[in-house]
A and B are shown apart, each in its own frame.
Chain A
Amino acid sequence: MTMQPNRLAVGGRIDRGTTFSIRFNDRDIVAHPGDTLASALLANGVKIVGRSFKYHRPRGVFSAGVEEPNALVQLREGARTEPNSRATTVEAYPGLVARSQSGWPSVDTDLGAIVGAFARFMPAGFYYKTFIGPFRNTRWWMFCEHFIRRAAGTGIAPAAPDPDTYEKVNAFCDVLVVGAGPAGLSAALAAARAGARVILAEQDRDLGGSLLDQTVGDTWLRATVDEVASLPNVRILTRTTTFGAFDGDVYGLVERAWDHVDVPPPHQPRQRYWVVRARSAVMATGAIERPLVFGGNDLPGVMSASALRAYLNRYGVLCGRKIVLFTANDSVYATAGELARAGAAVTIVDMRSDLPEELRSRTAAAKVDVLAGFAVVNTHGGKAVTAVTVAAVSGREGGTKGPVRRIDCDVVGVSGGFTPTLHLWSQRGRKPRFDTDKLAFLPDGSIPTLVCAGACAGADTITDAVSSGFAAGAKAAAAADFVGDAGALAPPKLADDGWQRGAMLISAVRAPDGEIPAKSFFDLQHDVKSTDIELAHREGYVSVEHLKRYTTNGMATDQGKTSNVNALARLAELRGSPIPAVGTTTFRPPYTPVAFGAIVGHEIGRHFRPTRLSPIHGWHAARGAAFIDAGSWSRPRYYPVSPGEDVQAGYIREARHVRAAVGLVDVSPLGKIAVQGPDAAEFLDRVYTNMFSTLKVGRLRYGVMLRDDGFVFDDGTTARLSETEFFMSTTTVNAGKVMARLEFLLQTAWSDLKVQVTSVSDQWATIAVAGPKSRTLLQATCGAADLSAQALPNMAFACAAIDGVPVRIHRMSYSGELAFEVYIPARYGHSAWAELMRVGEPFGVAPYGTEAMGALRIEKGHVAGGELDGRTTLKDLALERFASTKKSFAGCVLRKRPVLEDPTRPSLVGLMTIDKTVSIKAGSLLFPATGDIAGHGDGHVTSTTFSPTLGGHIALGLLARGPARLGETIRCVDFLGGTTVNCVVTAPCFVDPEGVRQNA
């Protein structure tokens, strides 16, 4: 195995006893259990991990955590590949394969950087100017996109279906603790001791937070973790990011259960999406170190100072031998001592000139050089930093003065202070407040069920984090009504400088000439420089939300975790306003990227939503029906008689057969509602446009419902079973909506009516029997009942039995043929269908599907979904005869609005092609035979079919002044297909308009 030049012989939380190999950019990298991809790369001396987005500059690992802006890799290969993976959070495992997702042909030799420079055409505001400005809707974007997509390091989405599974968990707890650093652990302990059921969620593999990056708190950490883990009322979730805080104290968590292996074990999910309903929560999310901005601050080797500490103490990696630490606060001094003890030559460049004596003596003892009152102005080096230029600080706001000095180094650790992680707080709709003492945004006000603790609430030291966490845990438990005694918790015994003591906040370092060096980067991932922010300000984008979108600062996959505060400090400087007046941007979920797969879980493909099946489905499947999704139902579309029969041939055959003999169609998906009670008739009179109180027991009536705004809502046939009992049917698609509306009216405005409505859609199977031989078939099947025309006229029903099972036979026709609907208790639907097929064999009975059913109803001119589209009135659909003038009904006033009475509104007509061989496309627009084809025309085609009866193509459509235009030739223009079909306007009913057949 190759050497690990930067791996120390001792120290860290890795298992040196086990060694394995991983592949990065086709190179073998040695790693140990406990490593991340980034720590292994650094241990192996890999400096360049990617190229920057716009300028193709070499970039190295910057951080040791989720905030990483540079080290984004394409993780794994093939169907399991995942773009935008942060090398700093990817756990190393044997066989891991990753590549830089930018740089062509390689990150070390990137031609983009030489060509240079498509980027100069992409200043701040590029996207605004392209999409909103004068270039909008031009070919400019298409021109640019080609280059941007090729050049930018945005990763590649997998092309094949994800072979892994994902799970969703609905969880409940009393207290959710987000983050298991010193504050979160203390909070979980306090809440659990008080008796609350606790979920402790930590994004890292291990519990401990910042303590994992140190060596001195281990005893406390072990004892605390042991106690928390021993409590039966605590559920610990590691590798679990709380990415969203939502209304109702609901939190979204993603657990990377098996992301730390190449292929999850059998039956294990790669990730788990937790929806946690918490009674209260503790936010102990810590703080992220802020960079300092100076010339060439993006070179590989420039790293977050706290990351240097993490790599040293957690991973046993010394990132450099000659290290400059550039800071304006106290937090790097402990790190400096540790790096020096590990063998590095360390120089601290501190912008503050008056340092406490205690710091000076400590650094002297550790043999660390300190340049107080100095700043790093520039870096040197091509592909990695080799030296820095420093100059004395002059005045405020990052100014310097000559002479400059050069210091050789291979790593620059930067610390501009810390930014509390307030994402969840912000997601709950609260604005943070800028604390001028701590120089950080902190949570403002309070949310009774969300308590902040530790560094994210401004706790300076680990001691403070423990006490604030413990108090927060007790407070959150109390908010969930758990007030048991939590006792006390002693903090770890360690010296701690705190992270923000004596800090100063500057936006960027200025060279002695007063200018901010050209290559001073604010947003490393999106290559946003000081000049971009200046341009945005000059062009008037002075609000932080505008600045963000105009420069794209903070809009990359890292969402500006390291760049936001510095950028808005620069904007504040340009505006001459203090930071609190400038404010900050709003955070929205997710905190870190979440894979779609995790959110979707099992709800993919056929499992996206439940598929509803008729009780007769098994028969259809056994017969080899071709199924079609119709809303949530899977229904037989047609029943192929040979393997080669296509849908066109199939439905024409089936429809022709119905008109010639007899067919069965499964209409079980129809909505069915039992309407019962003394006021049932009055109720139906109000919801239907026509009268139902006059309907005689034993009879059926077709009814139309309007919405309150006067448009047609739904139609269907209703039977009167008794004086107080009706059996309503609705269209399949509106079954749920009709039911909800009936319940609404009965529970609100009409709660005085004594009516009960019950959905019985699933209780009944329904078989339509249609065709000239339908009566013969039914009579033969239900011998005892009298189904003669005299005993059972059209629009009446009779009770009968099939094979001893009581059924109800509604005589009504959708096809225009003599027809019946047979209502059978659902569990006998299948056997009744089979019996009808058996008895019907001598009569030539055949099943037909939805396609033939549609053809038959179009021939008959019945309206369905295409016509009942929510934009049509009774008048439009030639249904006005169903509007009673003797009573009021829902929608009766607003249907009379002048605009709806306009005689030029498109209304229902039939259309027949002049050339019988061409078909009409649904959705085609209708234009007169001559004149320009422009605008929206005179209407549109709503339903189309081939008519077996007429031997040509027909359609229904909505045509302006339609009924006055019978016989006129019009053009049906399909703009999508680019075809025009000439048609003759006819009455909507093509077959047997007098109804001789259905009344037979």
Chain B
Amino acid sequence: MTSPADPVDQIREKISGYILSESTFREEITFTVKAESIVECCSLLKNTLGFTYLVDVTVVDYLTVKFPRYEVVYLLHRFGENYEENLKIRLKAALEQDNPAIDSVTSVWSGANWLEREAYDMFGITFRGHPDPRRILMPDDYDQFPLRKDFDVRDRESSKRCFERALDEGLE
């Protein structure tokens, strides 16, 4: 009888074509994958490897610390019958500073819809093919991306403009 293969090895083997690098920190596994093939990679993970739950989509802005500037982060979870099959992994896809854009994974997990809207709202990452690419938290006519590192968090001018416009429209 052979010992069951390490589930992480299985994953690594299956998606090896998409992986650029890999790191492990306190048993948390992170795969940096090719941004252009994120949808293929994700559908493989979901349909073949059972990662049915997209926990979160978020973005890191490294500004001058690292190049390329943005990293889109996907947190995935797999529910297995056995303890060892329960697994969390993290995918990262790096994006350039100018017009950062990546394909939307809403076709894989429909739950990505609002997560990607939030990532767009806060970081200005365009998700190509998103069914509803509006802002989710800030007003629709807001013109900044507040979680970008070069945004001044005390800059209230844009918010004020949106507030005044909302007021004018409401009072007509």
A and B part of one assembly: no
